[in-house]
Copies of this chain bind each other. A is one copy, B any other.
Amino acid sequence: MQPSEIQAYADAEPQSRKAGRPRSEDSHRAILDATRRLLTHMPVSKISVEAIAKKAGVGKTTIYRWWPNKQAVVMDAVFSQPAFHNILPASANAFEGIQAQLEKLFRQLAGKNGRMVSEIIGDAQGDPEALKSLIEIFFQQRYDALARYINEGKESAEFAKETDVEVAIDLIMAPVFFRLMTGQDFDQTFESQIPAMIRKALAA
């Protein structure tokens, strides 16, 4: 599933148009663009729906018509960017796949994007609904990719048979986000040692 698919919008079936004025593609785009532009200047917490509406030249109602709240707009704005698509290269073995996923994350979460994501995750704490949709939009595809590699590795005896897939996923993903949320940047040491440690941790 790609980020953009969270929009019911994208699901519209071309042959059976509903009555009424169709949703404005321009406004939709303007809202997400404005949100992204605001996000580069200020933290999520400083952004208001009002500011987005004003910057996008759009009525506040139009935003609330399509997203339940600010968090949802921000998630959509951030994760619908092509840079956040999770297309991974083919990999020779299970560990290589995991490593590819990690490197993808390192690149996706470096710099401002990382800060945005950590704020989005932070915002979703204390709101189960937001957390659920965050997982659907962002985490699930990464979970799925990793689950495939881990199962592959278990079958090929590259990884230990008793490894629990979900626990392994946590072990792999966690350090990346923990760094982010404790305010540390990625560095060369981190990016090289974490995959190595994970390889050892999972090894048969």
Interface residues of A (CB under 8 A from B): 43-46, 115, 118-119, 121-128, 131-132, 135, 139, 162-164, 166-168, 170-171, 173-175, 177-179, 181-184, 189-190, 193-194, 197-198, 200-203
Tell me whether A175 and B181 are in contact (CB under 8 A).
Answer: no
Q: Give every chain B residue within 8 A of A181 (Cβ-Cβ).
A: 121, 125, 177, 181
Q: Give every chain B residue within 8 A of A198 (Cβ-Cβ).
A: 201
Tell me whether A189 and B174 are in contact (CB under 8 A).
Answer: no
Residue of B nearest to A196 (CB): B201
Q: Among B121, B182, B189, B197, which residue has its beta carbon within 8 angstroms of that of A202?
A: B197
In the bound complex, CA of A178 to CA of B135 (Å): 12
Tell me whether A197 and B177 are in contact (CB under 8 A).
Answer: no
CB distance from A39 to the nearest CB of B (A): 11
Tell me whether B179 and A45 are in contact (CB under 8 A).
Answer: no
In the bound complex, CA of A86 to CA of B188 (Å): 31
Q: Among B118, B119, B124, B194, which residue has its beta carbon within 8 angstroms of that of A167?
A: B194
Residue of B nearest to A176 (CB): B174
11 A-B pairs within 8 Å (CB atoms) are namely A45-B127, A119-B125, A121-B122, A166-B184, A167-B175, A170-B194, A171-B175, A173-B178, A174-B174, A200-B201, A201-B201
CB distance from A120 to the nearest CB of B (A): 8
In the bound complex, CA of A144 to CA of B139 (Å): 31
Q: Among B46, B164, B177, which residue has its beta carbon within 8 angstroms of that of A189?
A: B164
In the bound complex, CA of A178 to CA of B121 (Å): 10
Tell me whether A132 and B202 are in contact (CB under 8 A).
Answer: no
Tell me whether A125 and B127 are in contact (CB under 8 A).
Answer: no
Scoring A132, A181, A190, A200 by chain B CB atoms within 10 A of each residue's CB, the highest score goes to A181
Residue of B nearest to A117 (CB): B125
In the bound complex, CA of A126 to CA of B123 (Å): 10
In the bound complex, CA of A179 to CA of B173 (Å): 10
